[in-house]
């Protein structure tokens, strides 16, 4: 039985940008609505078949993954009687019984992780006319068991009471989801596998928050202060992420005038943005107030001012997710009609939406956007979790100037060594596909020709997603960070040998 979304009157104009990651509020990209929705009845009627603490799934629907014999399952984990998170699981095409488990989360906040599935690195890709899907040769489930999760509650196909408004609260729900998922007999064999968190965009907040929370819960279980299944977290990957706004926001000013493609706006707009950053009570001061114990309203005010005066004006008429193209860029193609057409077949109970603006509004009200997730990221790296930060050089919305400044500003076991390294070419199939650095268990890579959704793009004669899957496979299948191309080839050979011997 499908359930209905209660329609609410919205006091502010919303629209979602083409890639669906960040809404436009009024006329401001990443703006702040005047009213949060936590106290309003923004919930869905709950399905009669709710299974609190358990899963409701459809197995082997035949949708998306068409490789013979490869298992898939889609459905819901019912966290409570009023909170249900949607997931879609795809077993690895190679050695699923021993392959690691990777979680994928898109950002927003409020955007569906089905974006990653259909537009980026899932077993199938939406066609350019948005009418159907085709097999993805460069799928991330070639070597890993992939689990795509729509979160927080209310995002994508997930539904229930919209009570999550911070990355920490989202982490708590994802932990609960994983406890339900891994205790189910169909997935309990994944409990001890190496676990990875991969995410992008607002995932610069999600990834560190989720990973740090997983580690803290593991420690609580060890100390007898909590019960549950420990999560064997080994890898964290963040693409084009918002992590430390104070360090990253000047990158918008730099990228608008100097990037690998063309200036985005004229010098007077850049000068105006620079003034908004530096002026007394301006963007820099507001973020500092937020960082130094500021209230939720102070952090929310920083988001409102900085995005209206810096983020929104500086992209001009160019697509914020792929600056070589003017607005609107039709790529990656929309898949809304397609995914809703298959919803009954895959077990979805509600109408899918790219971005839930109510969820976005609740996060904006708490000022979570302007929070600093770098301390959590440092905790995770220092705990020995293999970590990679990656981005595309054609992305404005979370551009490489800001991301690289964030990385350079980290204080970790590997930071001193990292800062001494020089960028080296990252080669895929004989072509330079980007630049990277590695120090210890930490790596950073900037991909040529890629926009915000890095695996959606291609460069030179490489195919869509080919460069990204090499990075992903290397990071998931070895016990070390990113290495040279020669070592990558040796790694691929060892994977093939391992596959033949099992």
> Which residues are marked as active site?
201, 395, 452
Yes or no: say if 57 and 347 are a contact pair by the CB < 8 Å rule: yes
Per the structure block, which two tokens stand in for 6?
A: 């209660």
Write the CA distances from 451 to 129, 337, 477, integer angstroms.
Answer: 20, 24, 25
Q: Say how many C-beta atoms besides its own lie within 10 A of residue 429's C-beta.
A: 13
CA–CA–CA angle 279, 285, 290 (5° rounding): 155
First to last CA, the chain: 43
Exposed, middle or buried, 67 (CB in 10 Å: 0-12/13-18/19+)? middle
Residue whose entry in the numeric block shows the structure tokens 């890993």:
144
Q: Are strands 442-447 and 386-392 parallel, antiparallel or unpaired?
A: parallel
Q: Is the dihedral of CA 339, 466, 424, 233 positive or negative?
A: positive
Short-list 64, 477, 167, 116, CA closest to 332: 116
Residue whose entry in the numeric block shows the structure tokens 């120090």:
439
Q: Are strands 83-90 and 72-80 parallel, antiparallel or unpaired?
A: antiparallel
């Amino acid at each position: 039985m499908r359930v209905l979304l209660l329609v609410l009157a919205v006091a502010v104009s919303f629209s979602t940008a083409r890639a669906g990651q960040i809404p436009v509020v009024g006329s401001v990209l990443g703006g702040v609505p005047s009213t949060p929705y936590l106290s309003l009845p923004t919930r869905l009627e709950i399905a009669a078949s709710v299974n609190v603490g358990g899963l409701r799934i459809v197995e082997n629907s035949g949708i998306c993954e068409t490789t013979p014999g490869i298992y898939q399952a889609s459905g819901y984990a019912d966290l409570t009687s009023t909170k249900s998170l949607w997931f879609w699981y795809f077993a690895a095409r190679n050695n699923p019984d021993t392959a690691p488990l990777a979680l994928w989360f898109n950002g927003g906040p409020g955007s569906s992780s089905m974006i990653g599935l259909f537009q980026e690195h899932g077993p199938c890709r939406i066609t350019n006319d948005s009418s159907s899907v085709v097999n993805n040769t460069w799928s991330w489930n070639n070597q890993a068991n992939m689990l795509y999760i729509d979160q927080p509650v209310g995002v994508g196909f997930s539904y229930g009471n919209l009570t999550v408004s911070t990355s920490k609260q989202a982490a708590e729900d994802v932990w609960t989801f994983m406890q339900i998922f891994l205790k189910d007999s169909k997935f309990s064999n994944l409990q001890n596998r190496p676990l990875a968190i991969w995410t992008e965009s607002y995932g610069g907040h999600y990834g560190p928050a989720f990973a740090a929370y997983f580690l803290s819960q593991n420690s609580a279980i060890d100390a007898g202060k909590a019960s549950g299944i420990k999560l064997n977290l080994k890898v964290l990957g963040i693409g084009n992420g918002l992590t430390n706004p104070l360090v990253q926001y000047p990158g918008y000013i730099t990228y608008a005038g100097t990037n690998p493609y063309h200036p985005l706006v004229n010098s007077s707009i850049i000068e105006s943005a620079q003034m908004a950053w530096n002026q007394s009570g301006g963007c820099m001061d507001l973020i500092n107030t937020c960082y130094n114990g500021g209230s939720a309203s102070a952090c929310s005010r920083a988001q409102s001012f900085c995005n209206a005066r810096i983020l929104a004006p500086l992209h001009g008429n160019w697509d914020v997710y792929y600056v070589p193209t003017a607005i609107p860029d039709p790529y990656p193609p929309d898949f809304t009609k397609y995914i809703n057409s298959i919803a009954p077949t895959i077990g979805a109970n509600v109408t899918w939406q790219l971005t839930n603006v109510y969820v976005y509004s609740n996060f904006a009200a708490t000022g979570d956007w302007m929070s600093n997730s770098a301390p959590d990221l440092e905790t995770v790296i220092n705990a020995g979790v293999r970590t990679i930060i990656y981005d595309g050089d054609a992305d404005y919305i979370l551009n490489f100037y800001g991301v690289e400044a964030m990385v350079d500003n980290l204080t970790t076991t590997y930071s001193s060594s990292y800062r001494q390294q020089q960028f080296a070419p990252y080669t895929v199939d004989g072509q330079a596909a980007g630049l990277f650095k590695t120090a210890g268990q930490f790596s950073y890579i900037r991909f040529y020709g890629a926009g915000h959704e890095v695996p959606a793009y291609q460069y030179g004669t490489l195919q869509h997603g080919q460069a990204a899957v090499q990075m992903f496979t290397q990071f998931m299948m070895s016990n070390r960070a990113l290495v040279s191309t020669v070592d990558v080839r040796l790694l691929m050979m060892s994977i093939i040998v391992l596959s033949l011997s099992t």
